[in-house]
Structures are given as structure tokens and as C-alpha cells.
């Protein structure tokens, strides 16, 4: 499998090189040159497979030529192991929970950090270790997080022999559980940085560091956020998993996806293009609604950032949206590069009407404010006894308001465990005590390690240079 850049100027790479590259050299994002496509018969034959076996069938084409089947199978078995000593706490890995007649939540929070990011980042850590050991290389990871990516990335990479990981989060803008999940994981290769700014500031520093890597003195920089293709690839699997549980591929399924960066829902779009019958994808956002403004009115314009009760979606610009733009423009890299240059200059973007209309055939969207989020948490708890985190609640609200057909199963992606967001649960007035799962029971007693830095690129890069070799200077 070869991968090409969304801006058309970077060389095509194999999977191994894409894994290590993150961002393409022309500033674009890597996508497969040709997407694999499965027949309905082929997908139907996967019904009843354990999660790791399904993952192998779905992802195998993406790694072909880079990882032998036997090695890849072993990596996936370790990644999605359950039971004693396993990574995931539920035997189904991603169980479906019914909310109503034909309405479901796909619980993606049974991993070590209680968020959907575990599905991709547990795999990414193992893939990196595999490839780096083979090559005899060391790398530095720099990542930005609005809450969940950071802990999942640290948890996924903490055992990696050849990786130092630096995760930046906006200081005092993530929940306490989210912060502690990052800052209490010990290891000389783990570095937490709190930036005195917002998530977009952290993200910009990561992008700027990729553009100029001189401060790393020759060590390679790797991305773990959703621009890394391996993240997207791993997320495609649970769309197939959910659909197969609900009668797919003989019937189509609809999905509502809480999303800020567009990575998780883009995986659903790819699942559909690979042959899975998906009739509708709903973009569920909070007040920071750049994606909703595009889907509902063809306006992808930068706006002010509003802190909310669903902080993982407090994002002004969605990194992965570029991958969809590439497809909407007939995979014309130059057209995408010109569009994004104009966006950088003006902060405004719209596409030609026919391209937008094409997107609308599949996508709907809704922006949900904090009051509606709390009302949905309370409503679902009253109706079912199920407690939703605020991001999942936004997904459920959007699913109920945008649903095109009651006869098609509607699946909302349950992106995080409610215990991570006690403020939202409290404001919803749900009188239920939130308990941390057993493996995190002592989270509030564990010592924390974190460095607060000014919102300055040079300060961050100097810190990485000083600590990038298992805590020592590069």
C-alpha cells in the first residue's frame, strides 16, 4: 500500500514511512493512494469474529508490504486483549448498549484511559516499537491534547524502548481526571507540558516543530495526534464491528459521532467507502462548531474558542477536515493546497456548491450547547439508567435531532467514560456517585509530574531538546 499527500507535492510513501512521518513534507496529510474495497459477502463472512481478528481483516491492506501477516496478527492480539492482564476491560472490547428501540451507544471507553483514543493509540505504540526496533532508530513524539489524546498516547507509548513522548495540554483547561491520567504515569521517557494557552496554541506548536526540526539534532519527530494515518486506520474497525452486531452488511447503519478534529468521523466515512453500508454520518459538535457550520451552511470559518463542558471538542480548526476536502476536490492536491493557503490568510473557507452538496448526501450535523448537553445526560439517565459523558451526550442529542430514518439502527459513538467529566454530570443533576474503575482507583493519591511553560515555541523546543533522550539532552 502506498500513501499520497492531500497537497499533492510530497513523495508517495509505504506504511512504515507514513507511520513515522505524521505530516507530509508539503504540509499535507497522508491518505491511501487506493482505498481497499470489500464485497458485501466478504464483510458478512466476518460476523462473529473476535475484535482482533476483525481488525486484522479490515486493516491488513493498509500495512501490506510493510508488516508480515503473522507479526501484524500478533500485534493486534496484544493490542485488543481482554481478560486477566488484558488491555481492554470488557470481553466485547467495544460493546453496544441499547438506549431505545433502534438506538445504541457503542462504548469505546473500556480501554486503560477510558476513552476511544485507546483503540488507536494502543496500536500506534506497538507499531512504533515494532518498526523502530527493526530499523534501530529512536524518535521523539510531540503531541497536543485537549484532554484524552494525551493520556492515551502516554499509555500507548510508555513501554516503548525507542520513544520519548512530550504531550502538551492547555494549562487549567482539561478536567482533573484527564490531567492526572497524564501526569501520574511514571517513566523517564514521559514528559508532560502544560502550556499557558489553549489547545489550538499547543497544536500550532506541534505543527511548527514538524516544519522546522533543527532543535532535535537529527532525531526524528513523530506525530501521535489524529493526523497520523495509523490512528485513522485503527478507528475504521469499530464501525465494521458495530454494523456487524446490528445486522450489517445486509442492512445499513447510521452513526452519530462527537468530533472536534474530524478524525473519528472520517474513519466512518472511509468504512463506508470500503464497502460498509453506512446511510448517514452525523457530525456532533459543541459550541465550537466550525464543522457544523460547514456541513449546514458551507462556511468553514475560524471563530473564537469557547471553553465548554465537553473540552475534548474545544477546537477552532479541525486537523483532519483536509482529508475530506481532498476527496471532495477529486483528490486534486493543488486545489486543496490553494484552498488552505487562502484559509490561512483569511480564516474563511467554502467550497463550490456541487462539492458541498455531495458531502451533504452523507453528512448531517448539529451544534449542542452546555445546557442541552446537561439536559441530554439527565434525560438518558432518567429513561435508561445509563450515564453518558458530555461528549457522548452531544452525540445522542445530534442523533435524535438529525436522524433520517427510524428503521435504520442509529449508533452514537460513546467516546469517554463519564467519570472523566464529573462537572458535567453534576450540572446535569444526576445524583449518581461516579466511581473510577479499579485500575484507576488511587488516581488522586498518585504523585504528578508536569512542567508549566509559557505559550512560546522556543521555550517548548528548548525543553524537548534538553530532555528528549530518556530525560537527558539530545
The dihedral built from the CA positions of residue 361, 2, 144 and 458, taken in this order, carries a sign that is negative
Greater confidence, 181 or 175? 181
Neighbouring CB atoms inside 10 A of 384's CB total 15
Q: Quickly tell me which residue has 441530554 as its cell.
A: 376
d(CA 256, CA 240): 15
pLDDT in tens, 229-252: 999 999 999 999 999 999 999 999
What is the rounded distance in angstroms from the CA atom of residue 358 to the CA atom of residue 254?
Answer: 17
Mean pLDDT of all residues in 5-24:
94
Q: CB-based burial of residue 82 (10 Å sphere; 0-12 exposed, 13-18 middle, 19+ buried)?
A: middle
Three-state DSSP string of 263-295: HHHHHHHHHHHCCCCEEEEEEEECCCCHHHHHH
Contact 469, 188 (CB under 8 A): no
Beta bridge partners of 366: 284
Full-model pTM: 0.94
The secondary structure element, H or E, covering residue 373 is helix 370-384
Single out the residue of 317, 353, 349 nearest to residue 336, CA to CA. 349
Q: DSSP label at 334?
A: H
Mean pLDDT taken over the chain? 95
Helices (H) and strands (E) in the chain — how many of each? 18, 14
d(CA 229, CA 270): 12
Task: Tell me yes or no: is domain 96-113+229-427 CATH 3.40.50.720.
Answer: no
Active site residue 207: no
Can you tell me the mean pLDDT for 344-355?
Answer: 96
pLDDT-above-70 percentage for the chain: 100
Q: Is 183:446 a contact under the CB 8 Å cutoff?
A: no
DSSP string, 23-58: B-TTS-BEEESS-----HHHHHTTTT--HHHHHHHH
Average pLDDT on 446-455 reads 96
Q: Which of 117, 334, 458, 472 is catalytic?
A: 117
How much is the pLDDT for 200? 85
In the chain, where does the domain assigned CATH 3.40.50.1100 lie?
96-113+229-427, 114-225+444-474
Q: Is the pLDDT of residue 320 over 90?
A: yes
Q: pLDDT category, 431, cuts 50, 70, 90?
A: confident
* Domain 114-225+444-474: CATH class, spelled out: alpha beta
Query: Which pLDDT band, with edges at 50, 70 and 90, does 121 fall under?
Result: very high
CA–CA dist 206, 222 (Å, integer):
10
Tell me the pLDDT band of 327, cut-offs 50, 70 and 90.
very high
Residue 112 Ramachandran class (φ > 0 left, ψ -120 to 50 alpha, else beta): alpha
Amino acid at each position: 500500500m502506498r500513501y499520497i499527500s492531500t497537497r499533492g507535492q510530497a513523495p508517495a510513501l509505504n506504511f512504515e514511512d507514513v507511520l513515522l512521518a505524521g505530516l507530509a513534507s508539503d504540509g499535507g496529510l497522508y491518505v491511501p493512494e487506493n482505498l481497499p474495497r470489500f464485497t458485501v459477502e466478504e464483510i458478512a463472512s466476518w460476523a462473529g469474529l473476535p475484535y482482533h481478528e476483525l481488525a486484522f481483516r479490515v486493516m491488513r491492506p493498509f500495512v501490506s508490504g510493510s508488516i508480515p501477516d503473522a507479526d501484524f496478527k500478533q500485534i493486534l492480539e496484544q493490542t485488543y486483549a481482554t481478560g486477566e492482564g488484558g488491555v481492554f476491560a470488557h470481553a466485547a472490547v467495544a460493546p453496544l448498549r441499547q438506549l431505545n428501540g433502534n438506538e445504541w451507544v457503542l462504548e469505546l471507553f473500556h480501554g486503560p484511559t477510558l476513552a476511544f483514543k485507546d483503540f488507536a493509540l494502543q496500536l500506534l505504540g506497538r507499531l512504533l516499537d515494532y518498526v523502530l526496533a527493526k530499523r534501530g532508530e529512536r524518535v521523539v513524539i510531540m503531541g497536543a491534547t485537549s484532554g484524552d489524546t494525551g493520556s492515551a498516547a502516554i499509555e500507548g507509548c510508555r513501554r516503548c524502548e525507542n520513544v520519548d513522548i512530550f504531550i502538551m495540554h492547555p494549562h487549567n483547561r482539561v478536567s482533573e481526571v484527564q490531567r492526572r491520567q497524564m501526569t501520574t504515569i511514571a517513566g523517564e521517557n514521559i514528559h508532560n507540558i502544560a502550556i499557558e494557552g489553549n489547545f489550538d496554541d499547543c497544536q500550532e506548536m506541534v505543527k511548527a516543530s514538524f516544519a522546522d526540526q533543527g532543535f532535535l539534532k537529527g532525531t526524528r519527530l513523530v506525530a501521535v495526534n489524529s493526523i497520523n494515518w495509523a490512528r485513522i486506520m485503527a478507528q475504521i474497525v469499530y464501525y465494521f464491528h458495530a454494523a456487524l452486531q446490528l445486522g450489517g452488511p445486509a442492512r445499513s447503519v447510521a452513526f452519530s459521532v462527537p468530533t472536534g478534529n474530524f478524525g473519528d468521523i472520517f474513519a466512518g466515512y472511509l468504512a463506508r467507502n470500503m464497502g460498509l453500508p453506512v446511510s448517514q454520518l452525523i457530525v456532533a459538535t459543541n459550541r465550537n462548531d466550525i464543522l457544523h457550520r460547514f456541513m449546514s451552511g458551507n462556511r468553514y470559518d475560524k471563530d473564537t474558542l469557547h471553553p465548554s463542558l465537553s473540552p475534548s471538542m474545544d477546537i477552532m480548526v479541525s486537523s483532519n477536515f483536509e482529508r475530506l476536502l481532498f476527496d471532495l476536490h477529486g483528490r486534486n492536491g493543488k486545489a486543496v493546497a490553494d484552498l488552505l493557503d487562502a484559509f490561512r490568510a483569511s480564516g474563511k473557507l467554502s467550497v463550490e456548491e456541487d462539492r458541498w452538496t455531495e458531502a451533504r448526501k452523507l453528512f448531517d450535523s448539529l451544534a449542542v450547547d452546555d445546557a442541552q448537553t446537561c439536559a441530554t445526560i439527565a434525560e438518558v439517565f432518567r429513561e435508561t439508567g445509563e450515564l453518558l459523558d458530555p461528549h457522548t451526550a452531544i452525540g445522542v442529542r445530534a442523533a435524535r435531532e438529525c436522524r433520517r430514518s427510524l428503521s435504520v439502527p442509529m449508533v452514537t459513538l460513546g467516546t469517554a467514560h463519564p467519570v472523566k467529566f464529573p462537572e458535567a454530570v453534576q450540572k446535569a443533576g444526576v445524583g449518581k456517585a461516579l466511581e473510577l474503575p479499579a485500575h484507576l482507583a488511587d488516581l488522586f493519591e498518585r504523585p504528578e509530574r508536569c512542567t508549566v511553560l509559557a505559550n512560546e515555541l522556543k521555550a517548548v523546543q528548548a525543553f524537548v531538546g534538553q530532555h528528549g533522550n530518556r530525560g537527558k539532552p539530545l
